[in-house]
Amino acid sequence: MRRSLLTRSTRSRTAPARPLAAGLLALAAAGFLGAAAAPAVGAAEAEGKAVSIRQGKPVDAQPGQDWVYPAMIVTNTGSRPLNSEKLVITADHKSHFISNELGISRRDGHEEHLKCDLVSDDRVLVCDSLGLSLKPRQNLVVYPEMGVDAGVEAPDTSVVNFALGSPQLASGKARIDIHD
């Protein structure tokens, strides 16, 4: 059975025992620890703020698999600090959120988990106040806890949309590649 570094297969919808290095794995999978990353998917500037959101590399999963972590790199590309912003993450019909927590990993190794609101049949995660605390040119990785729907026929792809800011400053798409 093939698994991504950021996944753990289980049928339970209870909280897992988090891997000791979950944050570092999310950083590595996102390309945050030095690997070449994909170009920025979304970037915008408003009110003197500028930010980009991109996925380092797609995440692999199997139909019915829980504990999939599509990680996105959020970078302050502007000249002003970014503090708190709203983040809305929307799953397509092939995936869902299994937790209302959003993982946040910073370059200094600090990891935190933010409680957000889970709505629309576990397909939308709304974080009203994501504490970015990013100076210019700093970045962090955010990663929701997700699962792939059991009825998805492999091979396939699930797309997860990330929208940051209200009004929206930037958006990006994370890809979950679904294989048998």
Going from the C-alpha of 71 to that of each of 1, 80, 151, 167, 172, the distances in angstroms are 22, 24, 23, 23, 11
Task: Mention every residue, 6+ apart, whose C-beta is less than 8 A from residue 126.
Answer: 86, 87, 88, 89, 116, 117, 119
What pLDDT is recorded for position 46?
52
From the list 133, 125, 103, the residue with the least C-alpha distance to 23 is 103
Q: What are phi and psi of 175, to 5 degrees?
A: -110, 135
What pLDDT is recorded for position 160?
98
CATH number at 22-178: 2.60.40.3670
**Parallel, antiparallel, or unpaired: how do β-strands 59-61 and 170-178 relate?**
parallel
Mean pLDDT by 10-residue block, N- to C-terminus, for the chain (180 residues)?
A: 34 39 48 42 59 94 97 95 96 97 95 96 96 95 97 97 96 97
What pLDDT is recorded for position 25?
47
Dihedral sign (CA 121, 111, 58, 167): positive
Going from the C-alpha of 32 to that of each of 15, 43, 108, 126, the distances in angstroms are 26, 18, 12, 24
Domains of the chain, residue spans: 22-178
What pLDDT is recorded for position 45?
52
Query: Would you say the pTM of this structure is higher than 0.85?
Result: no
Q: What is the DSSP string of 149-165?
A: -TTPPSSEEEEEEEEET
